[in-house]
Amino acid sequence: MEEMERKQLLTLDGLPVDVIITIFHYLDEKSLCRIAQVCRNFNHLASNNILWTKWKNAATFVSNDHWLQISPQPSYKEQCRLSKRWRQGKCKTRNVLKFEKNYLPWLWLSEDTCQLYLAVGDSISRYKSECWTDGNRCIAFQSRHPSAYSNAVVHPGLDVVRFSVDKKFIVTGGWHGALSVAARDEELEFSVHRNAHESDLISVALFGDVIVSGSRDRSYKIWKIDEDNLENLELRTAEDVRDTVLSVSINKHKRMVAVGTGGVGGVHPLQIKDLESGRQLFSLGESFKNGAGVLDSHFQTPDLLMTTGYDTYVRRWDMRTRSCVQSWEEPHDNTVYCVSSDNRYGFVSGSCRHGVTRVWDIRMRNCVQTFYLGGKVSSPVYTVGFTHSHLFAGLARTLFVLDFR
């Protein structure tokens, strides 16, 4: 009799799968993780993406679809785990490259081919994702294994200051007005245009076959690439903005260009131009103090522009209202050299001293985490970029990789 009653007893693991998942819906994150330890079946069911959707949608640094292409897309549960590690600052910090002398490095994470491009001195190196996703020591960065690494000297003796990457081309800007173009194939062969500007070319942006360049000669120019002959660049627009052009970025959806200047001499630090004609659409930052220049900028969405600069703030601008809608002040009142965003909730900024790299959430006023990468050397963070699991920061003599897995 007792044996028959035991057989008729209904247990949780004996319920249909859809019923168990419905019950699991009422659990919080911690309870889900605990019940996943009960047995293999519960572990499988508690890891179902349906159960983790509500927390994944609110997670930071893991929600950008482009960056998730760099490695196999993790489960929603894993994305929530990574987001928590970002917020808690739990990571392994590795000094993966050391430079012979002080440089102004610049990096770019390619969304379509899962590669990291790094400009140091007069050359550009390209690393495949296995350099930082395989193993625990990022060995390929140091050994420069040929299967994961390629290198090209852009213009000998003339440092690459900035570069931009698109689906077909790579464009670089360097000292003495040098502008270079290369096709994105296995062998990077650059066509150098040494007199694109009269002075140092310190900002460049690329969209399709259209290049926007800015220089210390107080001008910005719009060029068109001849796909059949990279030696030929057609100059479409050249305009004197009466101030040093420190940054340029392209809105690919609304066909406009954000031109950031030094903000001196009564010139507005942020000017929005038409990509086709180059004409002025409107200006931003009229109330900025003299010298509050814009050092870095990029469009998060078709309507939102993120900028950083000498005024020690990271700002978000709305192109519809033509105003600043959000701002975050650097806690130590330092110049913010660079910024990178996941185009949703999270962004990372690099400051001008001690390798200070900060992690932010746009829903919070204060930064989430701060990493001091400079050590005993006070170096600016010239460039930052990140995937859902790794943060890259380029200092004057070092490239750091922070692994949050």
Q: What angle do CA 214, 303, 241 make, to 5 degrees?
A: 25
209 and 282 assigned to the same domain: yes
Kindly state whether residue 69 falls inside one of the protein's structural domains.
no
Sign for the CA dihedral angle at 274, 279, 285, 290 comes to: positive
Residue 67's pLDDT is 44
103 and 31 assigned to the same domain: no
Alpha carbons within 13 A on the beta-carbon side of 145:
12
- Distance between CA atoms of residues 339 and 313, nearest Å: 11
Residue 254 is which amino acid? K
Q: By the 8 A CB rule, do 274 and 231 touch?
A: no
- Distance between CA atoms of residues 201 and 179, nearest Å: 7
One DSSP character per residue, 176-205 reads: GG-EEEEESSSS--PEEETTSSSS-EEEEE
Residue 402's pLDDT is 92
- Does the pLDDT value for residue 62 go beyond 70? no
Share of the chain above pLDDT 70, in %: 89
pLDDT in tens, 67-115: 444 456 778 888 888 888 999 999 999 888 888 889 999 999 876 667 8
Residue 387's pLDDT is 85
- Across-strand partners of 309? 294
148 and 275 assigned to the same domain: yes
111 and 237 assigned to the same domain: yes
Residue 132 is which amino acid? W
Helix (H) or strand (E) holding 102, with range, is none
Tokens of 370: 């701060």
pLDDT in tens, 16-58: 888 888 888 888 888 888 988 888 888 888 888 888 888 887 7
CA 384 to each of CA 356, 360, 398: distance values in angstroms, whole numbers, following the listed order: 11, 13, 12
Kindly state whether residue 63 falls inside one of the protein's structural domains.
no
286 and 343 assigned to the same domain: yes
- Does the pLDDT value for residue 245 go beyond 90? yes
255 and 384 assigned to the same domain: yes
CA 338 to each of CA 4, 45, 93, 298, 314: distance values in angstroms, whole numbers, following the listed order: 70, 42, 20, 10, 9
Task: Give me the domain span that covers residue 319.
Answer: 86-403
pLDDT in tens, 208-219: 899 999 999 999
41 and 165 assigned to the same domain: no
pLDDT in tens, 129-140: 766 666 554 445
Tokens of 173: 């800007």
Q: What is the CATH number of the domain that holds 23?
A: 1.20.1280
91 and 17 assigned to the same domain: no
261 and 386 assigned to the same domain: yes
| Residues, the chain | 405
Q: By the 8 A CB rule, do 385 and 100 touch?
A: no
Tokens of 175: 């000292």
31 and 117 assigned to the same domain: no
Kindly state whether residue 58 falls inside one of the protein's structural domains.
no
Kindly state whether residue 65 falls inside one of the protein's structural domains.
no
Contact residues for 381 (Cβ-Cβ < 8 A; gap 6+):
337, 338, 350, 351, 352, 355, 356, 357, 373, 393, 394, 395
Reported pTM: 0.88
Q: By the 8 A CB rule, do 324 and 284 touch?
A: yes
Kindly state whether residue 359 falls inside one of the protein's structural domains.
yes
**Nearest CA among 16, 21, 30 for reference residue 81:** 30
Kindly state whether residue 55 falls inside one of the protein's structural domains.
no
Kindly state whether residue 62 falls inside one of the protein's structural domains.
no
- Across-strand partners of 119? 106, 124
Kindly state whether residue 177 falls inside one of the protein's structural domains.
yes
18 and 162 assigned to the same domain: no
178: alpha, beta or left, given left = phi > 0 and alpha = psi -120 to 50? beta
pLDDT band at 366 (very low <50, low <70, confident <90, very high): very high
- For the residues 142-158, what does the mean pLDDT come to? 67
Q: What is the CATH number of the domain that holds 183?
A: 2.130.10.10
Residue 63's pLDDT is 56
- Across-strand partners of 313? 329
Residue 194's pLDDT is 78
Q: By the 8 A CB rule, do 60 and 80 touch?
A: no
Residue 405 is which amino acid? R
Q: How many domains are there within the chain?
A: 2
43 and 91 assigned to the same domain: no
